[in-house]
Structure 1
Amino acid sequence: MSLSRTTREDSPKSWAIENSENLYRIEGWGQPYFSINAAGHVTVSPKGERGGSLDLFELVNALKLRNLGLPLLIRFSDILEDRIERLNACFAKAIARYNYPGAYKGVYPVKCNQQRHLLEDLVRFGKPHQFGLEAGSKPEMMIALALLDTPGALLICNGYKDREYIETAMLASRLGQTPLIVLEQIEEVQLCIEASRQLGIKPILGIRAKLSTQGVGRWGSSTGDRAKFGLTIPEIIQAVQELRDADLLGCLQLLHFHIGSQISAINVIKDAIQEASKIYVELAHLGADMKYLDVGGGLGVDYDGSQTNFYASKNYNMQNYANDIVAELKEACAEHNLPVPTLISESGRAIASHQSVLIFDVLGTSDVPSGAPEPPQEGESAIIRYLWETYQSINEENFQELYHDAAQFKEEAISRFNLGILRLTERARAERLYWACCEKILAITRKQEYVPDELEDLEKIMASIYYINLSVFQSAPDCWAIDQLFPIMPIHRLDEEPTRRAILADLTCDSDGKIDRFIDLRDVKSVLELHNLKPGEPYYLGMFLNGAYQEIMGNLHNLFGDTNAVHIQLTPKAYKIEHVVKGDTMTEVLGYVQYDSEDLIEQIRRLCEQALLDKRITIQESQRLLQNYEQSLSRYTYLSS
């Protein structure tokens, strides 16, 4: 027997928004930005507890009137600002609590979301805190150098480096920037020495250490001797000696480490900062002019709202994180009578995840047969009578045994059909009775605290398929690639009971283009509770906390392009639209794969002319075809609702 992952309580007689809050766990993952109002709509409070709120359903309808079709990515600039302020406030509070004589200067890792408008907002919002940027590649450094104009902010230069990368970073110091070049490979030491000699610039250098502390979750292997980036302890000693020989040891001022993204357990962070503190102290003893410690990324996001060490959650808050880092570093430096470093973190996921919401509509559904079946008719096969008797006999005492009987009868019906004994209509009746048995058994299991192992998948087997106007590969690639969980829920009708259980299937012609794993208190559930579709009315779903990594990692599977995106800022009266970024048209997407739209149109024109000569098409039909073809090329790659 195994514990069921789906809700087992009886449905209340009347449904209230509190039931939806519990079902979709919005108070767990959504605070302080997302909640449900009395109308049963999701609301957004971009400034958290300090400002007003917007009705998300009404906002989407208003944006659609502006010819912004779904799917639609809505970015809330105020949430981005609030996340930066909260992170800095937590470190400021920790610094005050532990009388830490140093400072905190955070940086945002550009790789997390490189969209221009977002980065411009981030630099602007970060200025009061001297918030900087982290580049993990040469192209990202190009962006950072051009955008970062905050006096005193840091530019952390990570990733693989060639001579040009290193020279550019060093020369940026002449522009008033503060670039810190982090040595990720031992070969980079000599590149930095040679560039320094040639340019006559003494850079600020850092070392990324491969810690022995093991991370947790999907990125747990980011640490250790075989980690992709960083220097082992012997390599660190070699780098120190090479810098000393070049009279550049004074340039070594930073220690950097990274133990993986989305760290769910606070004890891992504690162990890592303890180990890094010891390395920092030893580097100072070796003669390096240590001034900075970069704790990397890893600050988690509570995607399922459970506040546990589950991989899609975290068992600590932002203040716990800051406290542990500050306290450990102060203790380590005080023990050895060393000045404390300026603290740096690269908390991209925790900053960028909350600020965007992806809205998409449901196009249709596919359901297993439901409702009471008709009894067998005279002359029908005995197998149909057996299934009918099984259906009538199912109760809370025998449902497990009769589930196996129903499955066996169904397989026998298919076998008889393949042998030519059963007619197609009779096979259809047999399958209809089988699904009726499953429906009846499922209703019983939903009332059980424990469900037999062989019935655990029945909820998913019986689930409806809701077809959504979306490409998982473009807008939520981590769902497909690494089983990432994002909160998904309707943004309206939340004062109604959702009576359907569904999985989501996207527009792509790919069996992996689906979402069948959803957040749940106990772990992960295989279906999402949704409402019946109402004829002529839209049904909108929202995917939340997906502002980190998803946009840049999306791909063009089936040639579905970037979605429409809009930047919203709260105002005293309501809101204003800061930016509109139109999604890809078919012409733009086809250009990515080297097709010219004019050439395609000309080819269709020639085909139409030949069909006219052969009298296979009328001139009216050919013109209609050409018109539709040209119009389609200029339009959104997604479906119109």
Structure 2
Amino acid sequence: MSSEKQILSSESESSWTIEDSENLYRIEGWGDPYFGINAAGHVTVSPRGDRGGSLDLLELVQALRQRNIGLPLLLRFSDILEDRIERLNACFAKAIARYGYNGTYRGVFPVKCNQQRHLIADLIQFGQPHQFGLEAGSKPELLIALAMLTTPSSTTLPGPLLICNGYKDRGYIETAILARRLGHTPIIVLEQPEEVSLVIQASQTLGVSPILGIRAKLSAQGVGRWGTSAGDRAKFGLTIPEILAAVAQLRQAGMLDALQLLHFHIGSQISAISVIKDALREAGQIYGELVRLGANMAYLDVGGGLGVDYDGSKTNFHASKNYSMQNYASDVVAEIKEACAERNIPVPTLISESGRAIASHQSVLIFDVLGTSNVPTRIPEAAESQEHLIIRNLYETYQGIDVHNYQEAYNDALQFKNEAISLFNFGYLGLQERGRAESLFWACCAKILAIARQQDYVPDDLEDLEKIMASIYYINLSVFQSVPDSWAIDQLFPIMPIHRLDQEPTERGILADLTCDSDGKIDQFIDLRDVKSVLELHALEAGQPYYLGLFLNGAYQEIMGNLHNLFGDTNAVHIRLTPKGYQIEHLVRGDTMQEVLSYVQYEATSLLENIRRRTEQALAEQQITLEEAQHFLENYERSLRSYTYLVNPA
């Protein structure tokens, strides 16, 4: 590095503040009140939100690594989960008091958002003061809910609700109905016309009256990726004619009094509050009509959709939302109260299935950077008179780049580079000359990009230059296993370094994972203005680890991850804040190679025996020494017991 560059770099580092990092990574927007940056330039986590107590994330990761817990590492903060449940219930309590709503709120957590046992156990424990229940969308999830949910010890207190959604067969329905005998409050939501007759038959056979709900296909449409969850062609729910037919069937069977709940769902991650209001208005009218038809209505389930502000912009953008949790609760209460007041009917108990809003914040994925691949941008040597004209033209272009002509210079450099490749392909340029031409081209791009970054407006033909010049940061992670929604549906998650935030990040990069797949990368990142194609990162320091964190990933990501290239589950640690710091409540070790191989029907003992026999054969043929054979077998056996990810020294 030249002395001039060293001076500029030193001045840049000394002038950079943690406030600059807060603004750059938008941590206050998406992280409040749980995540921030301390004076040391480390990300902090405040598991209890604004009620006090925080942890230094870097120090926590270092302490866990000293316990031989390797990266990548999923951190779950139980206190955040508890805080999210309390906030949601407090918002509804405030709205109920404000509008004089003569009813209650009873939330449920959709098990599909995160089925991990320790998380569900925590959620049930934290939800007990609020009679917070579960929603099951399949038979396996129903079995989880029945075994995990507690039943009320006193008949004066209601127990948590169990909302039974999803496709149902006779076994599902009978299990849910009989659960009433155990003290549970299962509500079987009819989502397909065929389920009505199944419920009637099962109830008559068992002699147990069920509590039933109906899921309506609303005409109100959602927005964004899950906008088609509602409407006439939605996957689940009954149309108005089908609802009327179901009411008629239940009346004929003498079971209309069992119908007590109306359910709707307009999609996950609703970014616009207006969409929620439209759905509530329509649902309120349907609820009132069901009361008029004689149904014993008592519950209204508004489904999921309460969004998470992943980019911190507080806008109607698919990775954000233009409303708060309090806005959401207030609109639900106000709209349903108004609908019931118009018909002079009692208000229902309100239910929401807010899984994403409850589970997202409690989970942080930490991973390290293994290395980088950078575009060579060193200052080029002057072109000699005897060098090819293309090389001389490129060097002349490089020398002439300034703020007045940088756009023209880029187009010239691109043309000269393409001409150099053509000349090489036809044999008029040698390999060294082509390399010289490409080096000059990248030097031009670096100089042009430095100028473009200082401008208020960047011309359209230079918009991709930032991504073209980006470094590739190789991360110890599988996108397919740990962040599948980033790959599958372009979901945005906040990603940032968890340390060195008192230093300016001088590099721009994309993230490439360990898999042998070109899709195994993250090249879209949150930004105030839509989405950016590169992430600001620090240059790696020799011998020093560089840690990144991916935040708000506690919903859906774990269970939807796959075993691409046989990278398994990561280590997961449950952390609880204590007066003296923190305690590790649970450590769930990630998959070993032996475990992931067993998922695809390879038995470790058979593999070892095959390798042993081949080793003996190689020994007999003198292709390997005894010492080498022993070393090879020990490595093979040790690998089977090891983590599927790369192991770097702490």
TM-score of the alignment, normalized to the shorter chain, above 0.5: yes
Distance 1:406 1:150 in 2: 72
Partner SS for 1:181: strand
The equivalent residue for 1:565 is 572
1:71, 1:469 within 8 Å by CA — same for their partners in 2? Answer: yes
Per the TM alignment, residue 608 of structure 1 is displaced from its structure 2 partner at its CA by 1.3
Distance 1:427 1:611 in 2: 46
TM normalised by structure 2 equals: 0.96
The equivalent residue for 1:335 is 342
Q: Structure 1 residue 475 and structure 2 residue 476: aligned?
A: no
Residues 334-389 of structure 1, C-alpha deviations (whole Å, 9 max, x = no match): 11110100000000000000001000000000000012111123532121111000
Moved more, 143-152 or 172-181: 143-152
Distance 2:115 2:36 in 1: 28
Partner SS for 1:377: coil
Distance 2:52 2:241 in 1: 52
Q: Structure 1 residue 593 and structure 2 residue 593: aligned?
A: no
Structure 1's consecutive aligned runs of 4 or more residues displaced over 4 angstroms after TM superposition are: 10-13
Tell me the amino acid that sits aligned with residue 571 of structure 1: T
The equivalent residue for 2:313 is 306
Partner SS for 1:142: helix
Per the TM alignment, residue 412 of structure 1 is displaced from its structure 2 partner at its CA by 1.1
Distance 1:403 1:319 in 2: 50
Q: Structure 1 residue 367 and structure 2 residue 374: aligned?
A: yes
The equivalent residue for 2:275 is 268
1:525 to 532, 547, 553: 532
Residues 490-543 of structure 1, C-alpha deviations (whole Å, 9 max, x = no match): 000000000000000000000000000000001100000000111111000000
Partner SS for 2:15: coil
Residue pairs, 1:26-425, within 5 angstroms: 26-151=27-152, 152-425=159-432
Moved more, 35-44 or 441-450: 441-450
The equivalent residue for 1:578 is 585
Moved more, 336-345 or 397-406: 397-406
2:460 to 450, 453, 464: 453
Tell me the amino acid that sits aligned with residue 534 of structure 1: E
Tell me the amino acid that sits aligned with residue 165 of structure 1: Y
The equivalent residue for 2:3 is none
Structure 2: gaps of 5 or more residues:
1-10, 153-158
Partner SS for 2:360: helix
User: RMSD of aligned C-alpha atoms?
Assistant: 1.0
Tell me the amino acid that sits aligned with residue 619 of structure 2: L
The equivalent residue for 1:7 is none
Distance 2:616 2:439 in 1: 50
Tell me the amino acid that sits aligned with residue 628 of structure 2: E
The equivalent residue for 2:645 is 638
The equivalent residue for 2:156 is none
Per the TM alignment, residue 135 of structure 1 is displaced from its structure 2 partner at its CA by 0.1
Tell me the amino acid that sits aligned with residue 90 of structure 1: C
Distance 1:401 1:536 in 2: 42
Aligned residues: 632
Per the TM alignment, residue 414 of structure 1 is displaced from its structure 2 partner at its CA by 1.1
Partner SS for 1:57: helix
Moved more, 405-414 or 238-247: 405-414
2:13, 2:503 within 8 Å by CA — same for their partners in 1? Answer: no
Moved more, 619-628 or 57-66: 619-628
Distance 2:616 2:14 in 1: 65
The equivalent residue for 2:155 is none
- The sequence identity of aligned pairs, in percent, is 76
Partner SS for 1:327: helix
Residue pairs, 1:596-615, within 5 angstroms: 596-615=603-622
Per the TM alignment, residue 13 of structure 1 is displaced from its structure 2 partner at its CA by 6.3
Residues 139-167 of structure 1, C-alpha deviations (whole Å, 9 max, x = no match): 00000000000422100000000000000
Q: Structure 1 residue 555 and structure 2 residue 556: aligned?
A: no
Per the TM alignment, residue 51 of structure 1 is displaced from its structure 2 partner at its CA by 2.2
Moved more, 419-428 or 41-50: 419-428
Moved more, 393-402 or 465-474: 393-402
Partner SS for 1:190: helix
The equivalent residue for 2:447 is 440
Per the TM alignment, residue 619 of structure 1 is displaced from its structure 2 partner at its CA by 1.4
Distance 2:47 2:457 in 1: 41
Partner SS for 1:87: helix
1:132, 1:150 within 8 Å by CA — same for their partners in 2? Answer: no
Tell me the amino acid that sits aligned with residue 415 of structure 2: Q
The equivalent residue for 1:5 is none
2:319, 2:492 within 8 Å by CA — same for their partners in 1? Answer: yes
2:151, 2:183 within 8 Å by CA — same for their partners in 1? Answer: no
The equivalent residue for 2:6 is none
Tell me the amino acid that sits aligned with residue 416 of structure 2: F
Partner SS for 2:94: helix
Partner SS for 1:350: helix
Distance 1:592 1:124 in 2: 33
Distance 1:608 1:637 in 2: 24
Distance 2:566 2:101 in 1: 53
1:127, 1:150 within 8 Å by CA — same for their partners in 2? Answer: no
Distance 1:202 1:492 in 2: 58
Moved more, 346-355 or 149-158: 149-158
Distance 1:414 1:327 in 2: 67
Tell me the amino acid that sits aligned with residue 35 of structure 1: G
Distance 1:378 1:398 in 2: 25
Distance 2:51 2:420 in 1: 64
Tell me the amino acid that sits aligned with residue 23 of structure 2: N
Partner SS for 1:159: coil
Tell me the amino acid that sits aligned with residue 104 of structure 1: Y
Distance 1:538 1:12 in 2: 19
Distance 2:576 2:196 in 1: 45
Residues 569-608 of structure 1, C-alpha deviations (whole Å, 9 max, x = no match): 0001100000000000000000000000111111111111
TM normalised by structure 1 equals: 0.98
Distance 1:211 1:605 in 2: 64
Moved more, 75-84 or 381-390: 381-390
2:46, 2:53 within 8 Å by CA — same for their partners in 1? Answer: yes
Distance 1:61 1:536 in 2: 15
The equivalent residue for 1:3 is none
The equivalent residue for 1:6 is none
Distance 1:556 1:304 in 2: 28
Per the TM alignment, residue 421 of structure 1 is displaced from its structure 2 partner at its CA by 1.5
The 1:11/1:447 distance shift into structure 2, 3 A limit, reads farther
Partner SS for 1:579: strand
Distance 2:455 2:520 in 1: 32
Moved more, 352-361 or 445-454: 445-454
The 1:397/1:13 distance shift into structure 2, 3 A limit, reads farther
Per the TM alignment, residue 411 of structure 1 is displaced from its structure 2 partner at its CA by 1.1
Partner SS for 2:516: coil
